[in-house]
Amino acid sequence: MTSVNSKDNATNLTVLGIETSCDETAAAVVCGPANKRILSSTIRSQIDEHTEFGGVVPEIAARAHIEILDRIVAGAMHEAGCSWDDIDAVAATAGPGLIGGVIVGFMTAKAIAMAANKPLVGVNHLEGHALTARLTDDLAFPFLLLLVSGGHSQFLLVRGVGDYERLGTTIDDAIGEAFDKTAKLLGLPYPGGPHVEKMAAKGDVTRFRLPRPLLDRPGLDMSFAGLKTALRTQAKKLEPVDEQTICDLCAAFQRSVSDVLAARTKSALALFKDRHPDAEPAIVVAGGVAANQEIRRSLLAAADEAGARFVAPPLTLCTDNAAMIAWAGIERLQLGPVDDMALSPRPRWPLDAANAGVLGAGKKGAKV
């Protein structure tokens, strides 16, 4: 284990963050916690490389990270106006994610940390999302997090750095995955989420009544595979579908997802108030799906109805980025000793170890 040893690091740290868990290659330099600032944040998307395949191809993603990561890091350092003497530590995503990409980013971070003689922090990608609101909105613990992305859909109780409890999750498809599959089914381009939202804006939300899965059951778990199947059934009945029908199906699908999330958010906030009656209730939404404006409006309405604060970081910090990784590194460094070079990247890494096996496990570890 290594300790941070530099000038005034009891009050302020400057950390280089690296993120390569999926198809964004990102680096950032962040300063805090006494004077929170994002000094630079560089993100290079791989959408063009994966569009023809209709989804992220892990091998292509890993090769793209290898080709560009050094330049992305150099660009972030240049934009921040920092030399290596100004950097107190290097933080990088160590999982979960596509293991090829995670290895590229984390091994690069190890090499930089060793060459520059800096501490290394291996960050859980989900923890990066969980702590972003503390960077952008100075949010105090505890609070609720709704993480909605291509790979994750879960409610988390965030009690502190490293202290998380998963309250509910999807039992099948993640929301972003369901959006992408729906788009593909309807012949819309990848990535599916933005295209479904665009078509939904022109659709009649009342034409089709799609299910709201699991809302007749207690708890906070969710399901979206059946919703996607119901949409496919409707589409097949009307084949060949015209553009207006596609718009109407997208509108119905998006409304169903929004209704499920709003209902579960109300239940999650009620549970939060029971657990922490003296805390100000707050719900944070993060992940790529948080960019969907109808979903944001439904969650804001649910929070208002429950008398809770609604926090949505800027869209650039909701999707995968390195600023959240650098900030999570700062939060970790404030607790004391950090990781050593023996830490290994991992494809699976649940935030809530107590419920790690809720979706199964295996040689790679428990699923998230």
User: Is the omega angle on the peptide bond into residue 96 within 30 degrees of 0, that is, cis?
Assistant: yes
In this prediction, residue 336 carries a pLDDT of: 81
In this prediction, residue 219 carries a pLDDT of: 94
Please state, in angstroms and rounded to a whole number, the distance separating the CA atoms of residues 185 and 168. 28
Q: CA–CA distance from 346 to each of 21, 94, 114, 242, 352 (Å)?
A: 10, 6, 20, 44, 15
Half-sphere exposure for 10 (CA within 13 Å, toward CB): 0
User: Is the omega angle on the peptide bond into residue 240 within 30 degrees of 0, that is, cis?
Assistant: yes
In this prediction, residue 11 carries a pLDDT of: 75
Cβ-contact 3, 336 below 8 angstroms: yes
Q: Domain segments of the chain: what residues? A: 12-132+320-355, 141-312
Residue type at 276 in one-letter notation = H
Domain 12-132+320-355 falls in which CATH fold?
A: Nucleotidyltransferase; domain 5 (3.30.420)
CATH architecture for the domain at 141-312: 2-Layer Sandwich (3.30)
Cβ-contact 338, 2 below 8 angstroms: yes
Cβ-contact 269, 300 below 8 angstroms: no
Which regions of the chain are under pLDDT 70? 1-10, 355-368
Cβ-contact 44, 26 below 8 angstroms: yes
In this prediction, residue 153 carries a pLDDT of: 93
- Same fold across 12-132+320-355 and 141-312: yes
Residue type at 16 in one-letter notation = L
N- to C-terminal Cα separation, the chain: 26
Contacts with 189 (C-beta within 8 Å, 6 or more apart), sequence order: 51, 183, 195
Look up tokens 């997208």; give the residue: 250
In this prediction, residue 230 carries a pLDDT of: 96
